[in-house]
Amino acid sequence: MTDKEKPAGPTQAERFGQFAMAAAREAGYDVDSPRGGGRKAIAEASGMGQTAVGRMLAGQSVPDPKFFPGLATALRIDLRTLLIRSGLATEDMLPLESVPPTRPHLTAEAAARELGIHSERGIRLFESLVDGILAQEPKGDERSGRRGVA
- The per-residue pLDDT for range 27-42, each reduced to its tens digit, is 989 999 888 889 999 9
Residues 38 and 82 grouped into a single domain: yes
pLDDT of residue 55: 96
Is residue 3 assigned to a domain? no
The domain containing residue 31 runs over which residues? 12-86
Q: Are 60 and 17 in contact (CB under 8 A)?
A: yes
Comparing 3 with 86, which gets the higher pLDDT? 86
Please report the pLDDT score of residue 146 as a whole number.
47
Q: Would residue 150 count as lying in a domain?
A: yes
Kindly tell me the sign of the dihedral angle through the C-alpha atoms of 112, 117, 123, 127: negative
Burial 67-100 (b: 16+ CB within 10 A, else e): bbebbbbbbebeeeebbbbbeeeeeeeeeeeeee
Tell me how many domains the chain contains: 2
